[in-house]
Amino acid sequence: MSGSRITMFFNGYLLIDIRGNALERFINQINNNDIKLYNLKKIKKNHFQAKIRAKNFKKLRPLVKKRMCSVKIINKYGFPFLMSCLWKRNFMLFGFILLFMIIYLGSSFVWFYEIKGINQLSKEKVELLLNKSGIKIGTLKKNININTAEKNILKLESDIIWIDLSWKGTKLKVDLVERKKVPGAVKGNLISNKNAIISEIIVFKGLPVVQTGDTVKRGQILIASSEESKAARGIAKGYVWYEASGESKLISKKYFFTGRNKRQYVIRIGGFKIYFPPIKINFKEYIKVNSVKIASEWRNIDFPLELINVNYKEIKFIKIEQMRKSAEYFALEEALGKILNKINNKAIILEILPEKLNVHDNNIVRCRLLLKTEEIIAYYKEELGAKD
């Protein structure tokens, strides 16, 4: 068919059989009468098949009468024929209309709730609140005003501080945030969590036990609770020292991959192993990388089957020599890394003291690092057996 395939479909077209002698001449005659034929095919001798627009079919009759030809309709295609076909099947049409109506009507009601964000409140209580503000399962979506319902719920329940209602098809999504209840103060002291020298102490509540410049140990009380204020409150900062050492070699061995690999698969069934292909590893030094695939579990049944992909990667060792200064740098870097892992991220670093250490081995450079920081060292600890 031509580019007007869509127009052909909407206007309707026929598949016809043309039989007779000298059909080429007949086709030329049809063409001269301004009747268009499409997809003309030769089936047999003196037998053609073509497509024609439905409205042009009647125009063929006078031409057929003149010649010793016969034209027959094989099939009818297109929208008008489809419609007439549908029209004959009243109940199917009715069924389609009914189906669309049911889908349309069904989608305009609330059928489900999805409630998120509840911890202390129960689901039933939230549903009751929704019912009170006019949202029930089976209500028309059109009759529900989400904004007023949100305000109503917030008024009705003081434990909810934020609520958001939204539609997802026929489902009502309820997102809410509950009010957090802060527990009352419990009797307790502020205690040092590090060995330090106090640099600053500010007391909000309670009695200070130490002063600025005092050395404190871990676990020592800094601010004690008094009779007036059960819970001690305050800020205590202190200088804390950290120490770590690191080392680096002047001459070290490192390996690199040569790029030559060998692959082997191992099938393990229970304790039995099958290797394929059976290869010999003729690398001088290599690294073995295993990746195991286990047959997937199905209905609590474990298959004792494993496929292991073994990759042998050839390596070569090389000697790396470095200068004493760069070795010192790497040793210090290692020490610093160790300290930074321990330090609280709010601590302020005041001083860094690097120090070289003497080692018997000439190949090793060892350094020590001392780090002085100022940080908050107080934490709150409840007294045993204390009650609100």
CB of residue 52 vs other proteins: minimum separation in angstroms? Answer: 11
Closest distance between other proteins and the C-beta of residue 43, in Å?
A: 9
Nearest CB to other proteins, comparing residues 43 and 294: 43
State how far the alpha carbon of 203 is from the alpha carbons of 37, 190, 192, 210, 212, in Å. Answer: 101, 10, 14, 11, 12
Please enumerate in sequence order all residues whose Cβ is within 8 A of that of 248, keeping only pairs 6 or more positions apart, or say none: 322, 327, 328, 330, 331, 334, 364, 365
- Peptide bond just before 277 cis, omega within 30 deg: yes
DSSP state of 301: B
Closer to other proteins by Cβ: residue 3 or 271: 3
Q: How far is the CB of 33 from other proteins (least distance, A)?
A: 10
Q: Whose Cβ is closer to other proteins: residue 75's or residue 212's?
A: 75
Per CB under 8 A, residues contacting other proteins are 1-2, 23-24, 27-28, 31-32, 34, 36-42, 48, 50
Nearer Cβ to other proteins (32/282): 32
Minimum Å distance from CB 81 to other proteins?
22
Residue 8, both tokens: 């052909």
Q: State which residue, 69 or 196, has the beta carbon closest to other proteins.
A: 69
Minimum Å gap between C-beta 22 and other proteins is: 10
Residue-wise over 75-100: b if at least 16 C-beta within 10 A, else e? ebebeeeeeeeeeeeeeeeeeeeeee
- With a CB cutoff of 8 Å and minimum separation 6, the contacts of 194 are 218, 238, 240, 375, 377
| Closer Cβ to other proteins, 40 or 370, answer by number | 40
When the beta carbons of 28 and 166 are compared against other proteins, the nearer one is 28
Let me know the angle formed at the C-alpha of 205 by 202 and 206, rounded to the nearest 5 degrees: 100
Residue 329 DSSP one-character state: H
**CB 50, min distance to other proteins, A:** 8
**CB 186, CB 230: distance < 8 Å:** yes
Task: Report, in Å, the least distance between residue 167 CB and other proteins.
Answer: 52
* In the complex, minimum distance from the CB of residue 107 to other proteins, in angstroms, rounded to a whole number: 46
Question: Do you know the residue count of the chain?
Answer: 388
Pairing of strands 196-205, 348-357: unpaired
Q: By C-beta, is 38 or 312 nearer to other proteins?
A: 38
> How far apart, in Å, are the Cα atoms of 24 and each of 18, 47, 207?
11, 11, 117
Nearest CA-CA partner of 77 in 3, 10, 19, 2: 10
